């Protein structure tokens, strides 16, 4: 049984000092319900994608469910680090496929700026494996920086090619009203920004943000009743890799992404050449280059030239992150996966306006948790 997406909603990403996390969730939910032409009472259950340790409020799902007015219907939280949003979509998809629920609201929401700097710096020191790695002061950028360094060594990837990812994503972020950063940058500006963990500068890294996004899922039968143009979750891949980079056979890709992509392509009956538009997890510039290779958009090692030659812009071989990606939109970690699906639905509906990819009929999302510990790949199609 297929599962369709019949409504989408998105809030503004950024430093949202004006709102609580449930208020952010409400913005996205209201927009999605209105987009679907439903009433809250039409929703059978909700799944909340969020990472709990950023919020003062514990056990967030119930709080959001109450604020959305969905009591007493069931809700639950999914957590898969930065892929919590896609984990929530998968969880809703499973519930519908199981025949338990017909209409499920999936809400990714995150308020990352509730923590003060000292709390963020403490959390930042525990992103890796705490037993063997965190005792050496590793950080999230440091792990991806080490993947970048290895990629540069094996394939000759350059810092200009890394910067090209940031330049492209800022180009599209400047055209996305929901993005945190709405300004273009240059390779020179990116290269001159402060160092974070070599070879990364500030512009190689996405920014923490607050925000929410929502998609309404429905069983195939209900989707056809309720929507004239549902977008289908046609391929759903999911895989896990070791928490520690010490136990990865190779550091020039994310093994979870390769496995998840293969599963999603098989389920949808498509391959990389069929994808017309993609949203990939560019938490750091190298991560987008690894994604091209892990997803089969280009051969292993050729991701650097692939972006630098402009092939992932609209008009190129395969437009990627034409909403600005994590880099320019900001990365509210629970919301990001849902935001990716939002954008692909918009593209497949032909409703992305000046960022529309012509002929977009098959799209892909690639949402990574941690340093590739989790990866969720979705293939979306339309009738």
Partner 1 sequence: MFKWFGLVNFVPYTKVDGFAEHLRDGRIMGSRCRGCGAVTFPPRSDCSACLDGNFEFIEYSGRSTLQTYTRIEAAPTGFENHAPYIVGVVDLEEGGRALAWFGDTVREEDIEIDMDLQLVPRMSEEEEAIRVYYSLERPGTQWVKTLGSA
Give the residue numbers marked as catalytic. 82, 331
- Candidates 92, 141, 211, 325: give the one binding partner 1 (CB under 8 A): 141
Residue closer to partner 1 by CB (options 240, 244) is 244
Residue selected from 131, 273, 315, 353 as contacting partner 1 according to rule CB under 8 A: 131
Q: Which of 126, 188, 192, 299 binds partner 1 (CB under 8 A)?
A: 126
Taking CB under 8 A as the rule, does residue 53 contact partner 1? no
- Report the nearest approach of partner 1 to the CB of residue 137 (Å): 4
Pick from 48, 82, 145, 209: which binds partner 1 (CB under 8 A)? 145
Half-sphere exposure of 55 (CA within 13 A, CB side): 24
Separation CA 342–CA 179 (nearest Å): 13
Tell me if residue 354 falls in helix, strand or coil.
helix
If the CB atoms of residues 17 and 118 are measured against partner 1, the closer one turns out to be: 118
How far is C-alpha 78 from the chain's CA centre? 14
CA dihedral 335, 338, 344, 346 (to 10 degrees): -80
Question: Residue from 18, 34, 53, 122 that binds partner 1 (CB under 8 A)?
Answer: 122
Q: Binding to partner 1 by residue 113, rule CB under 8 A?
A: no
| Contact flag: residue 147 with partner 1 (CB under 8 A) | yes
Nearer to partner 1, 196 or 377 (CB): 196
Stretch that binds partner 1, among 59-67, 89-97, 147-155, 313-321 (CB under 8 A): 147-155
Provide the Cα torsion 330, 336, 342, 347; round to 10°. 60
What whole-number distance in Å separates Cα of residue 14 and Cα of residue 26? 16
Binding residue for partner 1, selected from 59, 136, 177, 353, defined by CB under 8 A: 136
Q: How far is the CB of 249 from partner 1 (least distance, A)?
A: 10
Q: Who's near 310: CB < 8 A, 6+ residues apart? A: 168, 316
What are the angstrom distances between the C-alpha of 19 and each of 34, 256, 332, 337?
21, 35, 14, 21
Only one residue has tokens 């809700």, namely 75
Counting contacts by CB under 8 A, is residue 134 touching partner 1? yes
Closest CB 242 distance from partner 1, rounded Å: 11
Q: What distance lies between CA 326 and its chain's CA centroid? A: 7
- Using the rule CB under 8 A, is 41 a contact of partner 1? no
Cα 190 from Cα 201, distance rounded (Å): 7
Q: Judged by CB, which is closer to partner 1: 153, or 183?
A: 153
> In the complex, what is the shortest distance from the CB of residue 74 to partner 1, in angstroms, rounded to a whole number?
34
**Cα–Cα dist 323/354, whole Å:** 11
Counting contacts by CB under 8 A, is residue 118 touching partner 1? Answer: yes
Q: Which is nearer to partner 1, 37 or 135 (CB)?
A: 135
Residue 72: cis peptide before it, omega within 30 degrees of 0: yes
- Smaller CB distance to partner 1: residue 133 or 293? 133
Selection from 219, 208, 28 nearest residue 124 by Cα:
208
Contacts of 383 (CB under 8 A, 6+ apart): 229, 230, 232
Binding of partner 1 at residue 293 (CB under 8 A)? no
Nearer of residues 133 and 323 to partner 1, judged by Cβ: 133
Contact positions with partner 1 (CB under 8 A) in 173-202: 194-200
Give the Cα separation of 337 and 237 in Å (integer): 14
Please compute, for residue 20, the number of CA atoms within 13 A of its CA located in the half-sphere on the CB side. Answer: 10
Residue 125 sits in the site that holds partner 1 (CB under 8 A)? yes
For residue 82, what is the DSSP state?
B
Site string for partner 1, 216-245 (x = CB under 8 A): ----------------------------xx
Residues lying near partner 1 in the complex (CB under 8 A) are found at: 118, 121-122, 124-126, 130-139, 141-142, 145-147, 149-150, 153, 194-200, 244-247, 251
């Amino acid at each position: 049984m297929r599962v369709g997406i019949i409504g989408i909603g998105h809030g503004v990403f950024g430093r949202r000092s004006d709102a609580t996390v449930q208020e952010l969730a409400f913005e996205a939910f209201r927009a999605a319900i209105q987009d679907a032409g439903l009433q809250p009472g039409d929703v059978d259950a909700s799944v909340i994608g969020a990472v709990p340790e950023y919020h003062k409020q514990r056990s967030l799902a119930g709080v959001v469910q109450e604020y959305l007015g969905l009591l007493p219907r069931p809700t639950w939280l999914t957590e898969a680090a930065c892929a919590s949003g896609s984990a929530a979509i998968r969880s809703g998809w499973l519930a519908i496929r199981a025949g338990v629920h017909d209409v499920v609201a999936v809400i990714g929401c995150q308020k990352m700026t509730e923590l003060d700097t000292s709390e963020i710096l403490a959390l930042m020191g525990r992103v890796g494996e705490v037993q063997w790695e965190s005792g050496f002061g590793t950080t999230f950028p440091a792990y991806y920086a080490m993947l970048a360094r290895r990629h540069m060594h094996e394939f000759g990837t350059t810092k200009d090619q890394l910067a090209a990812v940031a330049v492209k994503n800022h180009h599209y972020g400047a055209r996305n009203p929901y993005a945190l950063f709405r300004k273009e940058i240059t390779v020179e500006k990116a290269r001159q920004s402060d160092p974070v963990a070599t070879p990364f500068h500030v512009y190689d890294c996405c920014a923490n943000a607050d925000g929410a996004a929502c998609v309404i899922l429905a069983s195939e039968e209900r989707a056809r009743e309720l929507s004239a143009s549902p977008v289908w979750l046609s391929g759903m891949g999911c895989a896990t890799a070791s928490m520690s980079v010490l136990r990865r056979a190779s550091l020039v890709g994310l093994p979870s992404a390769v496995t998840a992509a293969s599963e999603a392509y098989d389920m949808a009956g498509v391959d990389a050449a069929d994808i017309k538009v993609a949203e990939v997890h560019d938490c750091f510039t190298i991560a987008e280059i690894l994604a091209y290779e892990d997803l089969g958009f280009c051969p292993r090692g050729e991701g650097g030239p692939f972006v630098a030659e402009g092939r992932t812009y609209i008009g190129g071989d395969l437009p990627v992150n034409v909403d600005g990606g994590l880099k320019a939109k900001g990365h509210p970690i629970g919301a990001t996966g849902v935001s990716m699906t939002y954008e692909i639905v918009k593209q497949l509906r032909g409703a992305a306006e000046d960022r529309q990819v012509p002929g977009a009929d098959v799209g892909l999302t690639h949402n990574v948790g941690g340093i590739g510990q989790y990866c969720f790949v979705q293939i979306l199609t339309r009738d």
